[in-house]
Amino acid sequence: MKKTTFLLLIILACNSLFAINLDEAKNIARENNKYFLSQKANLNQAKWNEYNAITNFLPKFSLDGTMVRLDYDTYNKANQFSASPYYIPLVDDQGNPAPFPLPLSAMSGSIYKTTYTSQLTIQQPIFNGGKIFIGHQIAKLAKEQALLNLKSGKNDLDYQVAETYLNLLKLSDVKKISEKALASSKAHLKMVTDKYEQGIVKKSDVLQWKVKVENDKIALEEVNNSIEILKTLWKDLLGLKNSDNLPMPDEIDFMQHENEIQKYAEIKEEEMDKKVDNILTQAERTNPDIKSLEIVKKISKKGYLIAKGNFLPSINLQFQKQFESDDKLDFDGEDSWNLVAVASFPVFQSGANLTNLKRSKYEYLKTKLQMDDAKDKILMGTKNSFYNLVTKAKKVNSAKVAFENAKENHKILNDLYEQGMVTNTELLDAEIILFGGEMNLTSAYYDYILAKYNLDKFVGEQK
pLDDT in tens, 236-278: 999 888 777 889 999 999 999 999 999 999 998 889 999 999 9
Provide the pLDDT confidence category of residue 85 given band limits of 50, 70 and 90: low
Give CA–CA dist 143/46, Å, rounded.
5
Mean pLDDT of 423-432: 91
Residue 140, pLDDT > 80, answer: yes
Look at residue 87 in the predicted model and tell me its pLDDT: 47
User: What is the arithmetic mean of pLDDT over 391-400?
Assistant: 97
Mean of the pLDDT values across residues 125-133? 89
Higher model confidence: residue 373 or residue 419?
A: 373
For 311-325, what is the mean pLDDT?
Answer: 86
Rounded Cα gap, residues 31 and 216, in angstroms: 41
Boundaries of domain holding 357? 2-32+138-311+352-459
Specify the pLDDT at position 116: 79
Check residue 74 and give its pLDDT.
74
Q: Is the pLDDT at 142 greater than 50, yes or no?
A: yes
Q: What mean pLDDT comes out for the span 271-291?
A: 93
Inside any domain, residue 250: yes
Percentage with pLDDT > 90 across the chain: 64
Give a yes or no: residue 397 inside a domain. Answer: yes
CATH code for the domain in which residue 431 is found: 1.20.1600.10
Does the pLDDT of residue 5 top 80, yes or no?
no
Instruction: Give the β-pairing of 114-128 and 60-69.
Output: antiparallel
- pLDDT at position 135 is 93
Residue 299 has pLDDT above 90, yes or no: yes
pLDDT above 70 for 204 = yes
Residue 302 lies inside a defined structural domain of this protein: yes
Residue scoring higher pLDDT (345 or 90) = 345
Q: With cut-offs at 50, 70 and 90, classify the pLDDT of residue 160.
A: very high
pLDDT value at residue 10: 46
Residue 152 has pLDDT above 50, yes or no: yes
Can you tell me the mean pLDDT for 409-437? Answer: 91
Question: Which pLDDT belongs to residue 111?
Answer: 72
| pLDDT, mean over the chain | 86
d(CA 443, CA 455): 18
Which of 246-260, 279-293, 338-352 bottoms out in mean pLDDT, i.e. has the lowest? 338-352
Which has the higher per-residue pLDDT, 49 or 352?
49
Q: Of 81-90, 173-182, 257-266, 274-283, where does mean pLDDT reach its minimum?
A: 81-90
Evaluate whether residue 366 is within a structural domain: yes
pLDDT score, position 269: 85
Q: Which residue has the higher pLDDT, 373 or 91?
A: 373
Enter the pTM of the model: 0.79
pLDDT for res 96? 59
| pLDDT category of residue 125 using cuts at 50, 70 and 90 | very high
Confidence bin at 439 (pLDDT 50/70/90): very high
Mean pLDDT of 179-194: 94
- State the average pLDDT over residues 296-325: 88
Q: Is residue 102 part of a domain?
A: no
295 found inside a domain: yes
Residue 296 has pLDDT above 80, yes or no: yes
445 falls within a domain: yes
Q: Specify the pLDDT at position 102.
A: 45
Whether 239 is in a domain gets the answer yes
How confident is residue 112, by pLDDT bands cut at 50, 70 and 90?
confident
Q: What is the pLDDT of residues 17-61, one digit of tens each?
A: 578 999 999 999 999 999 999 999 999 999 999 999 999 999 999
- Give the confidence band of 14 by pLDDT, cuts at 50, 70, 90: very low
| Domain total in the chain | 1
Give me the pLDDT at residue 106, please.
47
Mean pLDDT of 71-97: 61
| Interval 216-226 mean pLDDT | 96
